[in-house]
Structure 1
Amino acid sequence: MKNGTILEKELYPSPNPNVELFSITYYADGLRIKGMLAQPKDDFTCPGFLYLRGGIKNVGQVRPARIAQFASEGFIVFAPFYRGNQGGEGNEDFAGDDRHDAFAAFDLLQDHPRVSGRKVHIFGFSRGGVMALLTAIEKKDAASIVTWGGVSDMVLTYAERKDLRRMMKRVIGGTPKKYPIRYKWRTPLYRLEEIEAPVLIIHGAKDQNVSIAHAHKLEKRLKELDKKVDTYYFEEYTHYFPPAVNRDIVFTLCSWMKKHN
């Protein structure tokens, strides 16, 4: 069976009268994975938008209102829950093999009958930033990449987030010192030369969850490689932006994506 094949599709209550939501079960890497699809309630074609969540397990779950918000900007949005979540098979492993859930989700969007020209943009928030970059490395025809408050270096995450170390050691198998190759494999900074799509980096300077050092490292390396990169840095904000500002940034980043259709 082809990765990205939709196995089950059920209508889901939508918070937006102009957007329809579906609960999806799809095929990825031999597993049945759960996710959510959001699309405008019309018959028009529009670009695809792969939404890659942050967190792990119950932390940072996909919010229907959030993906409906992006769909209302004129995108077909799909957000994988990652393996092992909300009834999906397998076990989430923090940008390990669960990256294949994102790759298959990209394929799902490309094959969607309303996605114009098979164009798919990739968006990652927090841990989803790593997932977005890894997906763009794998999928050379990605239209664009946006990473918002995104992780770019797993060793730096281990160093900064003492509260995540126990989880990271359990999921990855040990510390960066003990398993440097496993952490490097999860760190896209070492493979950015393989990215072809333009990148937009959004980050708050006061972010305590994912420090702005992740954004600076990513920007620096992309520029060294002469890749297309834009940055929106916000001195006054943390990992989470005020609602009004958040809405403005959503509009801005969606407009930026549409320039790269």
Structure 2
Amino acid sequence: MEYSFRIENINRFPSPNPDITLSIVTYRSQDLRVKGLLAEPKVDDPLPGILYLRGGIKQVGKVRIARIVQFASQGFVVFAPFYRGNEGGEGKEDFCGEDRYDAYEGLKVLEELPSTDSGSLHLFGFSRGGVMALFTASYHSDLVKSVVVWGGVTDMKLTYEERPGLRKMLKRVVGGSVYKSPERYEERTPLSLVGEIVAPILIIHGVYDENVSIEHAYRLEKELLKHGKSYETWYFEDDHHFSPEKKRKVTYELLQWMKTQ
């Protein structure tokens, strides 16, 4: 099969669900070959697509097959970039710096797939993926139909201040502390671009989240309100990770919300 310049190859991967085809996609992002997991329901007609933007960095918060299949089983083609430097991809992950292009190009991959309805593309970002989703919604404002930010980072400076345990990693990856190199953290904070986002946004957050404080959600909500954007908030009496039962329930509900946008 011939692919576009963006997609280099698609290799089948064992699927735990007989109704979902899984593949590893190698695609171009800037001058790098990066990889992601693709889940396609076995149906004849094109389906809406979700770009699933994971949290964490490297092996922390990596793409989970069961989670991607969970999304796809509700009638979506789902593509989850691993981000550069992971799972055999080239380059080096830099926590919402240049690796945001892995998301930008990932959405174009989703758009080009014959299994996807290119007129119904959606973004889902969890934790660090919240930053990636907001940047992508701004960059591809003409393509994105809805955005869900769940437990999402929205202000990288705030992350540095509230997570002492992450500071060593952030200084190494971002290049200095928030005090010595504030511009590097500002470059990774999408709040100033909220005015460019067209798609409606759903904010999901646990009020007791100790990994990504509820203040991140409040700051995003403030900017959305200031710019007159369409948004909803679902705040729960929970931490960063919901119970499996509640996660399944909220996931089902957010996917129904996406289908109405």
Same fold (TM over 0.5): yes
Q: Distance in 1 between matches of 2:57 and 2:188?
A: 15
Q: Distance in 2 between matches of 1:3 and 1:83?
A: 20
Instruction: Determine which of 170, 175, 178 is the counterpart of 1:168.
Output: 170
Cα distance change, pair 84–3 in 1 and its aligned pair in 2 (3 A) = farther
SS in 1 for 2:55: coil
Q: Distance in 2 between matches of 1:154 and 1:62?
A: 22
Q: Distance in 2 between matches of 1:41 and 1:69?
A: 14
Is the CA contact 2:21–2:39 (under 8 Å) kept in the aligned structure 1?
yes
Q: Distance in 1 between matches of 2:4 and 2:67?
A: 25
Displacement of 1:220 in angstroms is: 1.2
Aligned to 2:192: 190
Aligned to 1:200: 202
SS in 2 for 1:216: helix
Displacement of 1:126 in angstroms is: 0.3
Aligned to 2:49: 48
Structure 1 residues not aligned, in runs of 5+: none
Cα distance change, pair 33–3 in 1 and its aligned pair in 2 (3 A) = farther
Q: Deviations along 1:5-61, whole A, 9 cap, x unmatched? A: 221211111122211110111111110001100010122211110000000011000
Q: Deviations along 1:192-226, whole A, 9 cap, x unmatched? A: 11111100000011111101110011011101110
Report the TM-score when normalising by structure 1: 0.96
Counting matched residue pairs gives 258
SS in 1 for 2:80: strand
SS in 1 for 2:242: coil
For the pair 1:179 / 2:171, whether they are aligned, the reply is no
SS in 1 for 2:49: strand
- After TM superposition, the structure 1 stretch with the greater mean CA deviation from structure 2, 103-112 or 17-26, is 17-26
Is the CA contact 2:49–2:118 (under 8 Å) kept in the aligned structure 1?
no
SS in 1 for 2:124: strand
SS in 2 for 1:249: helix
User: Which one-letter code corresponds to 2:153 in the other structure?
Assistant: V
CA-based RMSD of the aligned residues comes to 1.3
Counting only pairs closer than 5 Å after superposition, residues 16-165 of structure 1 correspond to structure 2 as: 16-141=17-142, 142-165=144-167
Is the CA contact 1:201–1:229 (under 8 Å) kept in the aligned structure 2?
yes
Is the CA contact 1:205–1:234 (under 8 Å) kept in the aligned structure 2?
yes
Displacement of 1:119 in angstroms is: 2.1
Displacement of 1:3 in angstroms is: 8.6
For the pair 1:247 / 2:248, whether they are aligned, the reply is yes
Displacement of 1:187 in angstroms is: 0.3
Displacement of 1:117 in angstroms is: 3.8
SS in 2 for 1:143: strand
Report the TM-score when normalising by structure 2: 0.96
Aligned to 2:258: 257
Aligned to 2:231: 229
Q: Distance in 2 between matches of 1:3 and 1:164?
A: 38
User: Which one-letter code corresponds to 1:53 in the other structure?
Assistant: R
User: Which one-letter code corresponds to 2:157 in the other structure?
Assistant: V
